[in-house]
Amino acid sequence: MYPANTVVTDVLLGKRTSRTPVWLMRQAGRVLSEYRKVREDAGSFKKMVTTPELACEVTIQPVDILGVDAAIIFSDILVVPEAMGLRYEMEENRGPVFPRRIDSANDLRDLHIAQAEELSYVMDAIALTKRELNGRVPLIGFAGAPWTIFAYMVEGSGSKTFSRARRMLYREPELAHHLLDMITASTVNYLKGQVKAGADLIQIFDSWAGVLGPDQYDEFSLKYIRRICDEVTGVPRIVFPKGAFFARRGLNDVNCEAVGLDWNMDIRESRQLMPDKVLQGNLDPCALYATRDDIRKATIKMLEAFGPDKHIANLGHGLYPDTEVDSVRCFVDTVKEYSEKVRGRK
Amino acid sequence: MYPANTVVTDVLLGKRTSRTPVWLMRQAGRVLSEYRKVREDAGSFKKMVTTPELACEVTIQPVDILGVDAAIIFSDILVVPEAMGLRYEMEENRGPVFPRRIDSANDLRDLHIAQAEELSYVMDAIALTKRELNGRVPLIGFAGAPWTIFAYMVEGSGSKTFSRARRMLYREPELAHHLLDMITASTVNYLKGQVKAGADLIQIFDSWAGVLGPDQYDEFSLKYIRRICDEVTGVPRIVFPKGAFFARRGLNDVNCEAVGLDWNMDIRESRQLMPDKVLQGNLDPCALYATRDDIRKATIKMLEAFGPDKHIANLGHGLYPDTEVDSVRCFVDTVKEYSEKVRGRK
């Protein structure tokens, strides 16, 4: 065991570890009653995001309650467009909504490249959380991939097809690249700030990667992820390209340590396509609705498919809000116990 | 050229044709002002679906206006669960909503296996449309894949994750199989009825294929699609497994003539994975937002990647409602002209 738990960062740095590390996307919140209490008292999601003490509190909850091997700072990918000048609101049951959206070159005039200082509440939350964690587990910083941020800024909200955002790629590719450039520069500033504030590693979430075809993904998304990974150095970087099964081969060349897999991506095939990467994932979040016994079986099956090396256990998507806490704990415990046992044997 | 246009069915039957055929998912409606007029007069989507004269009229519109090589009967995949006993409503801006949904074995008691006669309005629409088409182009019948119908029946509406429907697969797999069995039997009756009424070929839409992992897709979706394709014979069958990139190898063995591809599935890779199938697709529907010149280029690039044989040109998803009619026509005309020219050269 580790006095300070560095099992996540050790795997990312290519070191041998005594077991497979585990954390969960959306672990900060949603399934924990302790989170819901803080959320209720805060009154709004954005209040929590912008108040370092609250963000810190819910960031650490899953470390205490679930025993995960890393904390991920409680925040939102859309703080970046907001810092660039495009305010958004988080509507209950609907998700993020931008009162103004980007539709033409004119709309770019009101935007600027965000500086880390403009997101000081995130930097403060990271610094505070690092102090409070006191070395127990590493702290993950994060940002949305430029394409995903672009998709929200142009669409104005979530969408099943993001056809408005994709239309701009076809109709005004230069405008799209201009905006993507601005988002990328802002994101680099933001992530460098997070690292300076104390983030031990970072993850880039490309939540809407899967709505692009392979050629457009290369041109409008992967290109900018590459740039971020080339510029934000000094900490390990994980890229999670949700739905971009077709981009796996290309991701093997990106300057990052790890790639996250959806639950519908075949593990062995993904290993072949990305032999140089640590892989993260990928249990179906719905598998946690099963009985404890079936959760253990599914988790072990996943661990066997990844093998003991170059793997960070996680789900293939964020935790769903109605998951039972004991089921999440069963997943975390199974990863720890089984992977430690397997290595003990060798 | 064909006196009666049989280019779609000829390709499906493995015959050489003078050019690549083309039709569009959701071509019946949405982008045509002629459709919107009928829709407005009818007052509701379901009124159109259940009134053979109206369904016939909007089914034929794209043949006249766009020059597509096949008509697809105007209907809805959710008429099957409704005939089984689960009523739904189509809400403007929200999509389908089921006032009751399937949550437990108890809820199955109110359901029965639907007979074709219970959907006589669809059979009447098909028979009427066949008469009106008078052999100009073949008529496509269709149904949802059992997994996709199941997903709506259990979820009660559309969903980003369909986590409620997927939860049942983990918690009550026997109940899930029981319901899938009933849906499959109903769908077989329904599709056989459509063939009897005059459908020249059928397409099975697995719209939510992509939310399942590979193992669950085999067990809870592909198995039932196989059964439908084994039982509904006598006409060519196209399967469109939206998002199920991981299932392509398995689909090569299904007893169907063609498989539809999403716009994010690589064409050459799909050919390798499904060498025995005619492939259908797969231009990004958003590509039709581009200039005419770019639409032509993108269409030709797609045609070149598929090659002249075993291909039915289509989009990789349904037409988006705000697409310009002239852009759709540009796609259709480019397929026809370019593919005819290419074959003339050989």
The model's pLDDT over A66-103, given as tens digits with 9 standing for 90+, comes to 999 999 999 999 999 999 999 999 998 889 999 999 99
Note the pLDDT of residue B92: 83
Q: Is residue B239 part of a domain?
A: yes
Bridge partners for A164 per DSSP: none
Asked whether the predicted pLDDT for residue A158 surpasses 70, the reply is: yes
Asked, for residue A97, whether it belongs to a domain, the answer is yes
> Looking at the domain assignment, is residue B63 inside a domain?
yes
Which DSSP string do the residues of A11-27 spell out, in sequence order? HHTT---SS--B--TT-
- Domain of residue B171, CATH code: 3.20.20.210
Put simply, the answer to whether A246 touches B246 (Cβ < 8 Å) is: no
Q: Rounded mean pLDDT of A39-56?
A: 96
Residue A161 belongs to domain spanning: 7-278
Q: Could you tell me if residue A330 is inside a domain?
A: no
Tell me, yes or no, whether A339 lies in a domain.
no
Whether the Cβ atoms of residue A77 and residue A340 lie closer than 8 Å to each other: no
Q: What is the pLDDT along chain B (346 residues), one digit of tens a residue?
A: 345 789 999 999 999 999 999 999 999 878 999 999 999 999 999 999 999 999 999 999 999 999 999 999 999 999 999 999 999 999 988 899 999 999 999 999 999 999 999 999 999 999 999 999 999 999 999 999 999 999 999 999 999 899 999 999 999 999 999 999 999 999 999 999 999 999 999 999 999 999 999 999 999 999 999 999 999 999 999 999 999 999 999 999 999 999 999 999 999 999 999 999 999 999 999 999 999 999 999 999 999 999 999 999 999 999 999 999 999 999 999 999 999 999 987 5
State the pLDDT at residue B1.
39
Considering only CB atoms, B161 lies closest to which of A266, A287, A320, namely A320
Return the SS3 of B68: coil
Alpha carbons within 13 angstroms on the beta-carbon side of residue A60 total 17
Q: How many CA atoms lie within 13 A of A33 on its CB side?
A: 3
Per the structure, how many domains does chain B have? 1
Nearby residues of B22 by Cβ (< 8 Å), 6 or more positions away: B68, B69, B312, B313, B314, B331, B332, B335, B336
Mean pLDDT of A176-182: 98
Structure tokens at A251: 């991701």
pTM, entire model:
0.96
Q: Is residue B332 part of a domain?
A: no
Quote the minimal CA–CA distance from B166 to chain A in Å: 6
Among A147, A219, A264, most B C-beta atoms within 10 A, so best to mutate, is: A264
Q: Which residues contact A327 (CB under 8 A, 6 or more apart)?
A: A288, A289, A290, A292, A295
Instruction: Using CA coordinates, name the residue in chain B closest to A321.
Output: B163
Classify residue B344: in a domain, yes or no.
Answer: no
Distance, in Å, from the CA atom of B185 to the CA atom of B115, rounded to the nearest integer, reads 9
Smallest CA–CA separation between B284 and chain A, in Å?
7
Nearest chain B residue to A263, by CA: B213
* 3-state SS assignment for residue A344: helix
- CB < 8 Å to A263, chain B: 213
Per the domain annotation, does B233 fall within a domain?
A: yes
Whether residue A161 and residue B212 make contact (CB cut-off 8 A), yes or no, is: no
pLDDT of residue B65: 96
What distance in Å separates residue B135's CA from the closest CA in chain A?
36
Instruction: Characterize the bridge pairing of strands A258-260 and B71-72.
Output: unpaired
